[in-house]
Structure 1
Amino acid sequence: MKRYPSVPVNAHASDAVAGKHVHKKQFGQHFLHDPGLIRRIVQAIAPKPGERLVEIGPGEGAITLPLLREHGRLTVIELDRDLIPRIQAAARDIGELEVIHADVLTVDFTALAAGANLRLVGNLPYNISSPILFHCLDHAAAITDMHFMLQKEVVDRMAADPGSKVYGRLSVMLQLYCRVEPLLKVPPGAFNPPPKVDSAVVRLTPLPRERRHDADPALVERVVRHAFGQRRKTLSNALHGVANADQIRAAGIDPKERAEQLAPMDFVAIAKVVAEDA
């Protein structure tokens, strides 16, 4: 099992936090500071004793510290080394904080869970939010739920229904594995510095094993990616080289349909027919 070294608490951490943190654009840093919204987010997470909470990108601790007060123990994953002593100093007298200095895309959440499912929390960097979401999906079996702050446009896409203008690959892939629940809209002024877009908090709850599809995940992803790669084309054209018209019909779908008209499980049906014919 892969081990992630924890950053030891620096006995002189307070010396490292004397100055104001300079926000780093390369890390997509926008720190939440609205007390009312922070309280509502913590209430939505509703941590319970014995749960394993992991926060992605704690920043200056806007959500970290209230969660620690509620729960007493928290693991955080932070890439910006300059922020680590600041969050350690702020958390010292509040609860037990484990800090992992790493790029979240390199963290094996299944190994980190070690058999006890994780609850993930985070104000995700908007410039890499989709890769982080797909990375979490790879470890969905080790995750109880996820509460993420994201660009509102992304949350709209995640929760979109078939036929919507914003329904696409992200909608399908997330809804095949999770229940998607938009919770809160967050204005730019709730952050420092304020982003140029509205944000939203979303809850993702991985589906129980009995409700997950049993098709080849890589093949399903390939079908979805090609179907939405040229979304103005009919399925028979968009899926050329992946599934032919007869295979699409065998899945109970009209080849003249377009990807945005299909429900998530329709893509699974196509993948299953393709696998059977292989």
Structure 2
Amino acid sequence: MAYLGNSARTKEVLAKFNMSAKKKFGQNFLIDSNVLAGIVEASKVTDNDCVLEIGPGIGSLTQYLAESAKRVIAVEIDRSLLPVLDHTLSDYNNVTIINEDILKVDIGEIVAKYNDNKPIKVVANLPYYITTPIIMKLFESGAPIESVTVMVQKEVADRMVMGPGNKDYGSLSLAVGFYAKAEAVMDVPPSSFIPQPNVGSAVVRLERYEERPVEVQDDKYMFEIIRTAFNQRRKTLSNSLANNPALKVSRQQVVDALLEMGLDEKVRGEVLSLEQFAALSDILQR
């Protein structure tokens, strides 16, 4: 039975192995059983599911997942945690630990090897300093991923779920929205971790679309437009896009495209929806 969802047991395990959280890996260990149970509930994991967990740490969330899922594949970059995981997960025969960097592994190969290429669910308490690269790798990998349920920094969670016109709306909002429906699940205070982070956290569930919500001729070109627009928020869209040589467009071309779309030529990117960015991308590539 899962037993790591509290401070005393977590400290006991860390002391047993003379371990402490490593800043370079962004380690903060969850010590709140209600949050751990809430993450698993939000992920909608069943005993038919294969789960990919990223950064299991000492195995707190892994224990909860192992009791709900058919199989858990946990990717952990920190080699020193392997003996800890051997200890904390010794009662579970449905967990496989892979000692790799999630940003370097082939997620498609993992799904093929451990789940016969059938869709998996991703669940993780992500290192905050590399949240966005991990999220984008998951979606851009092309691997069959049904959903992604993750604990992230509250500020990042807000960016994932916000729409146009909000101060938290940005390239991450649009990137996530291109691949999945984002739902805020719960806020998590710093006191739920050892050591306590300096910021609040939140759990977000991303349910991948079976069909993308917009059609676009070249999604890479569209995301270059999006990145450019939000890298220079204070500039008008026509000026910022014209200043990026990779887009190969003039200011007048952007102005003409915006007017064709019924938008003001002085509009900024923060008010455009995903559908509008897709339309702009297609017009500029004609």
Q: Is this a same-fold pair by TM over 0.5?
A: yes
Q: Which residue of 1 aligns with 2:150?
A: 148
* Counterpart residue type for residue 151 of structure 1: Q
Equivalent of 1:33 in 8, 31, 37: 31
The 5 Å alignment of 1:152-191 reads 152-191=154-193
Q: Count the aligned residue pairs.
A: 261
Alpha-carbon contact 2:216-2:281 (below 8 Å) kept: no
- Is 1:80 matched up with 2:78? yes
Per-residue Cα deviation, 1:94-130 (whole angstroms, up to 9, x for no partner): 2321111111111222232222112111111111111
CA distance in 1, matches of 2:41, 2:209: 22
Q: Which residue of 1 aligns with 2:276?
A: 266
The change in CA–CA distance for 1:103 and 1:141 in structure 2 (over 3 A counts) is closer
* Counterpart residue type for residue 253 of structure 1: L
3-state SS in 1 of match to 2:37: helix
Per-residue deviation at 1:252?
4.0
Alpha-carbon contact 2:236-2:268 (below 8 Å) kept: yes
* Counterpart residue type for residue 271 of structure 1: S
CA distance in 1, matches of 2:37, 2:68: 11
Equivalent of 2:267 in 254, 257, 265: 257
Q: Which residue of 2 aligns with 1:57?
A: 55
Q: Which residue of 2 aligns with 1:236?
A: 238
Alpha-carbon contact 2:107-2:141 (below 8 Å) kept: yes
3-state SS in 2 of match to 1:135: helix
3-state SS in 1 of match to 2:27: coil
The change in CA–CA distance for 1:210 and 1:194 in structure 2 (over 3 A counts) is closer
The change in CA–CA distance for 1:85 and 1:252 in structure 2 (over 3 A counts) is farther
3-state SS in 1 of match to 2:67: helix
**Alignment TM-score, normalising by the size of structure 1:** 0.88
Alpha-carbon contact 2:182-2:207 (below 8 Å) kept: yes
3-state SS in 2 of match to 1:172: helix
Which shows bigger deviation, 19-28 or 145-154? Answer: 19-28
Per-residue deviation at 1:238?
1.4
Equivalent of 2:201 in 196, 199, 202: 199
Alpha-carbon contact 2:154-2:187 (below 8 Å) kept: yes
Per-residue deviation at 1:212?
4.7
Q: Which residue of 2 aligns with 1:105?
A: 103
The change in CA–CA distance for 1:60 and 1:84 in structure 2 (over 3 A counts) is same
Q: Which residue of 2 aligns with 1:9?
A: none
The change in CA–CA distance for 1:196 and 1:223 in structure 2 (over 3 A counts) is same
CA distance in 1, matches of 2:93, 2:181: 31
Per-residue Cα deviation, 1:205-262 (whole angstroms, up to 9, x for no partner): 1111253534312101111011112111111111115342112333443321111111
Per-residue Cα deviation, 1:145-196 (whole angstroms, up to 9, x for no partner): 0000000011011111111011111111111211010101000000000000
Equivalent of 1:246 in 256, 259, 267: 256
Percent of aligned pairs sharing the same letter: 36
Alpha-carbon contact 1:185-1:200 (below 8 Å) kept: yes
Per-residue Cα deviation, 1:39-87 (whole angstroms, up to 9, x for no partner): 1112212322332201000011111001112224210000000111211
CA distance in 2, matches of 1:190, 1:35: 9
The change in CA–CA distance for 1:109 and 1:211 in structure 2 (over 3 A counts) is same
Alpha-carbon contact 2:225-2:241 (below 8 Å) kept: yes
CA distance in 2, matches of 1:55, 1:173: 22
Per-residue deviation at 1:265?
1.4
Q: Which residue of 2 aligns with 1:221?
A: 223
- C-alpha RMSD of the superposition: 1.8
Structure 1 unmatched ranges of 5 or more: 1-15
3-state SS in 2 of match to 1:86: helix
CA distance in 1, matches of 2:16, 2:27: 19
The change in CA–CA distance for 1:177 and 1:208 in structure 2 (over 3 A counts) is same
CA distance in 1, matches of 2:204, 2:183: 6
Structure 2 unmatched ranges of 5 or more: 1-13
